[in-house]
Structure 1
Amino acid sequence: MISRRGLMLASAAAGLVAFAPSAIGQVPASLDTLPASAPVRRFGLTAREIEARLMGPDGPVTRHVCAYDGALFKIVRAPRGTRLAVDFENLLPDPTTVHWHGVRGPYLSDGVAPLTQDVVPPGGRFSYNVPLPDAGLYFFHPHCDETGQVGRGLFALLVVDDPAEQKVGFDAECFIVVKDWRLASDGQWLAMSTDEGAANAGTFGTVRATNGQITAPRVEVPAYGDVRVRTIVADATRVIDLGCDTDDAFILAVDGQALPPVSFKALPDDIWRMGPAMRLDMQVRMPGPGQEVKIYDYRSSEPYLLTTLVAVDKGKAKTPLRAKALPQPKVPLPDLKSAKRLDYLLQVSAGPTIVSPALPADDPLSKALVSSLCVGSTTHWAISRDSWATDEALRLPPPLATLSNGTSYILSMSNVTKHVHPMHLHGHVFRVLSSSKKKMPQYLADTVMVEPNETVEIAFKAVSGNWVFHCHILEHMDTGLMGWFKVV
């Protein structure tokens, strides 16, 4: 049975939902993104530990692997316009939550303790209301001990299908999940985070893998066919330069949001840079029977093979190449003419610092503490001198700013560090406007890469709630590079 709180969430129409004070304080109005009449798919979801052979079928068994429903790389699919009513149970030995990455839903189901809920303790339950107003590739993962739990495999893909996409006519679909493992030679876990890694580019895995395999998958697809390749970087640290060894490839969507097709040949160095949590849909036109297309990460010292597409004769005739445009997104777009500006620095920090005005004393969140199990042990990073809580200081920091629901904002991020930062804004799809260093098409996303000494501008229409904004290199987030916006 779904909880009473879950039923309250799931019954919400598009509009305002008021909640009484609770363990998380007096909460702002929560906006739903689907009407009450939307079809509901109710299912249970568990997080638990399993054993797996992550170093290959002949390798050692790794214990304490984390997975949803006991299955690594689980895929949940649902049609656009569906509401997921998810009854979650935590069977892990540690607290956790579930964050629905990139999904525009009510913030009370966003999975961020203590802003939207308390942590779910071992043996505990929580009901999530997850409306799916937008088609695309998303995923879900914990937002407590994220470095450790995601590092050990706790995430799943969420594919939201649009019936209109059937008219586009792909001949095959292929998923590429970039996820490394931090394993010793005996197959057991190394520390997921180190002080040296957290203060720099992150602590990298010792075993590279695609879709959980240490050898690149080989996928048979129709010769002369158009393949939809859907790539996600589910790793806590790794940044890749995605490309392939054919000129017949196009970008179709970023973070699930369609854009007019862009040829890889039109991109600098024929690659698209992706960091943790970023997704990309691409179209690959296959050559004749027996030939192959190889998809690489070109950011490695030697190109790292992610997947090989093998052309198999399925009786399909060769046709002229044409980019296949996906249906355009129907997300709220910012009004750039009336937008207000927000300017932030992404910077290093010598310790926990706060410069933003404190919350009013009568706001229950002013006294909220962040669980020490959900953060790192020390502070290395800050957003304009505001650092998220760590073991050094577990008090929830004040919001970076208080915004107005329905108002458009242009947010400028200047990276004054020597490392990349893939920045993610919860609860919103934003428009990437510009970069001070590179030429790029304008596109919609929920996570954007900010390079060293680069300023990137994004624009969004604010939605009521408490929303975090953070680097998705998970150790950076855990050691200070996260803040939040209160939208009222």
Structure 2
Amino acid sequence: MGAAAFAPSALGEEVPKAIDTLPPDAPQRRLSLVADEIEVPLLGADKPPTSRFCAYNGKPFLTLRAPQGTRLMVEFENKLPDPTTVHWHGIRGPYIFDGVAPITQPIVPAGGRFFYNVPLPDPGFYFFHPHCDETGQVGRGLVGLLFVENPREAQVRFDVEHIIAVKDWRLDDAGRWLKMFTDEGASTAGTFGTVRAVNGSPVAPRAEAPAYGDVRVRTIIADATRVIDFGCDTDDAAVIAVDGQAIKPFLLSEAPDDIWRMGPAMRLDVHVRMPGPGQEVRIYDYRTAEPYLLTTLVAVDKGRKKTPFKPKALPTPTELPLPDIAKATHLDFLVQTAAGATAIAPALPPDDPLAKALIDSLCVGDKTFWALNRNSWGAGTDLRLPPPLNVLKDGESYILTITNVSKHVHPMHLHGHVFKVLSSSKKKKLPQFLADTVLVEPNESVDIAFKATSGNWVFHCHILEHMDSGLMGWFRVA
């Protein structure tokens, strides 16, 4: 990988190099992306519609597909009444197009435009969303799905692909939006939606598939708060990818507690073998007191015969820069509550382009409730950019031990990298896997490892109110 010849951001000449992850002659696909407000019947066709729903290109859960190795040349226009940005979640690309104001770009004001150069070096299931007023804009629907297709997967055939997007809505009975950020929610487990929904609807979808056929179920938690325990009422179900990254298949029944726990931003691919004609497979969230139905798969007779279930393995990724565990530097991070806005890490040098950068007040919450190693992101009236958590070296390997000393769960996301989840102090049956977001439960320590890539990269909780109230920091890799 070489340094890309990209223009510096409006904040000044960046210290780290912007690393491109595709060759200059990679095939390009131009995309016009518009964020706007539309009207959607979220409570059902017979109920009042909801206005001010935020969507890309006028479509709830806009879904894009592109071949691996493609470069998306994205002309973004903000038609929202408020500032926004676009973050390409899980994508390894140049940090100056990562969508995080103020460390990678300025905000895109209402009526403004921004150009994003988005290389797609890795196959998998990704998504894109704002990284300014994320609680409010994602809360009102501003999420798009991105599938990067691996040509090597053509040999791994499924009869049906079924997408489950878990996203609740905070609405009153008239379909009007309720407040997304609350002090009570931000300081605890998050502010939950009043209407549970799958793929935008309060009615769980039903999908047909051939009896004894193979279904690829692709699930994303697009919600700002919701944590689920993904499970099926069949033993013929196996995890084949986490956060879009292929994993050696294992049965869901072999996972901790026979389920896969997922938090905001996490994705999961599961291979389900269908039963006989007329029978059904039900997919649930088992985290609630009564299992919540996410989807029903209905077996339709296509003249097939029953065969033994053998989970399909996706091609092993070969493009990822994997860490050297034996030579990795160890870093420890405590996820904790905060007494107030604090920053104890060494300050940036006064002449650093980001030393005096301010966070736009519309991009964060009003209060500070959370911290990483006693460092909190700017919030309320304290809108200065905090110093980096650490300065890392490009190409070096690191192991992060993330210890949650709070009473609430935290899905921790590292921008610009795919990391390896090595171990958990609680989940002894947890296999090692690749991911970009990992769930850390109360009184749990999780070890992750990655090879650092040049850039300014944020590290934060993806319960969006937690992020907006302090639980975010950043690494400088140079």
TM-score range, shorter chain: over 0.9
* Percent of pairs with identical residues: 69
* SS of 1:283 mapped into structure 2: strand
Distance 2:8 2:190 in 1: 38
* SS of 1:321 mapped into structure 2: coil
Distance 1:309 1:374 in 2: 40
Alignment partner, residue 415 of structure 2: 426
Distance 1:431 1:327 in 2: 17
* SS of 2:184 mapped into structure 1: helix
Distance 2:93 2:471 in 1: 24
Q: Deviations over 1:199-231 (max 9, x none)?
A: 000000000000011111000111100100000
Alignment partner, residue 103 of structure 2: 115
Query: What amino acid does structure 2 have at the position aligned with 1:371?
Result: D
Distance 1:215 1:387 in 2: 39
Alignment partner, residue 48 of structure 2: 60
Residue 459 of structure 2 corresponds to residue 469 of structure 1: yes
* 1:313 Cα deviation after fit: 1.4
Contact 2:9-2:96 at 8 Å conserved across structures: no
Alignment partner, residue 206 of structure 2: 218
* 1:242 Cα deviation after fit: 0.1
Distance 2:30 2:394 in 1: 30
Residue 298 of structure 2 corresponds to residue 310 of structure 1: yes
Q: Deviations over 1:450-484 (max 9, x none)?
A: 00000101000000000000000000000000000
* 1:73 Cα deviation after fit: 1.2
Which residue, 406, 417, 431 being the options, matches 1:441?
A: 431
Contact 1:18-1:29 at 8 Å conserved across structures: no
Distance 2:94 2:9 in 1: 17
* SS of 1:119 mapped into structure 2: coil
Distance 1:320 1:168 in 2: 17
Q: Unaligned stretches of 5+ in structure 1?
A: 1-13
Residue 13 of structure 2 corresponds to residue 23 of structure 1: no
Q: Deviations over 1:73-122 (max 9, x none)?
A: 11100011111000000000000000000011111110000010000001
Contact 2:225-2:464 at 8 Å conserved across structures: yes
* 1:317 Cα deviation after fit: 2.7
Alignment partner, residue 449 of structure 2: 459
Residue 238 of structure 2 corresponds to residue 253 of structure 1: no
Query: What amino acid does structure 2 have at the position aligned with 1:17?
Result: A
The equivalences for 1:362-381 within 5 A come to 362-381=351-370
* 1:19 Cα deviation after fit: 5.6
Alignment partner, residue 284 of structure 2: 296
* 1:267 Cα deviation after fit: 1.4
Query: What amino acid does structure 1 have at the position aligned with 2:83?
Result: P
Distance 1:18 1:137 in 2: 28
Q: Unaligned stretches of 5+ in structure 2?
A: none
Which residue, 63, 67, 76 being the options, matches 1:88?
A: 76
For the aligned residue pairs, the C-alpha RMSD in angstroms reads: 0.9
Distance 2:45 2:66 in 1: 32
Contact 1:287-1:311 at 8 Å conserved across structures: yes
Q: Deviations over 1:22-53 (max 9, x none)?
A: 52222121101110111000010000000010
Distance 1:21 1:175 in 2: 38
Distance 2:302 2:82 in 1: 49
The equivalences for 1:137-148 within 5 A come to 137-148=125-136
* SS of 1:164 mapped into structure 2: helix
Distance 1:16 1:177 in 2: 36
Alignment partner, residue 347 of structure 1: 336
Contact 1:352-1:392 at 8 Å conserved across structures: no
Query: What amino acid does structure 1 have at the position aligned with 2:353?
Result: P
Instruction: Give the TM-score of the pair, scaled to structure 2.
Output: 0.98
Residue 27 of structure 2 corresponds to residue 39 of structure 1: yes
Query: What amino acid does structure 2 have at the position aligned with 1:141?
Result: H
Alignment partner, residue 384 of structure 1: 373
Residue 102 of structure 2 corresponds to residue 102 of structure 1: no
After TM superposition, the runs of 4+ consecutive aligned structure 1 residues lying more than 6 A away are none
Alignment partner, residue 410 of structure 1: 399
Distance 1:452 1:113 in 2: 30
Which residue, 159, 162, 173 being the options, matches 1:174?
A: 162
Alignment partner, residue 181 of structure 2: 193
Instruction: Give the TM-score of the pair, scaled to structure 1.
Output: 0.96
Q: Deviations over 1:303-356 (max 9, x none)?
A: 000000000112333222111000011211000111001111000001100100
Query: What amino acid does structure 1 have at the position aligned with 2:247?
Result: L
* 1:448 Cα deviation after fit: 0.1
Which residue, 37, 41, 62 being the options, matches 1:74?
A: 62
* SS of 1:337 mapped into structure 2: helix
* SS of 2:239 mapped into structure 1: strand
Alignment partner, residue 3 of structure 1: none
Which residue, 207, 223, 229 being the options, matches 1:235?
A: 223
Contact 2:415-2:458 at 8 Å conserved across structures: yes
Alignment partner, residue 5 of structure 1: none
Distance 1:266 1:219 in 2: 26
* SS of 2:326 mapped into structure 1: coil
Query: What amino acid does structure 2 have at the position aligned with 1:356?
Result: A
Distance 1:300 1:408 in 2: 39
Contact 2:245-2:317 at 8 Å conserved across structures: yes
Contact 1:379-1:392 at 8 Å conserved across structures: no
Alignment partner, residue 468 of structure 2: 478
Contact 1:427-1:467 at 8 Å conserved across structures: yes
Contact 1:25-1:363 at 8 Å conserved across structures: no
Contact 2:3-2:19 at 8 Å conserved across structures: yes
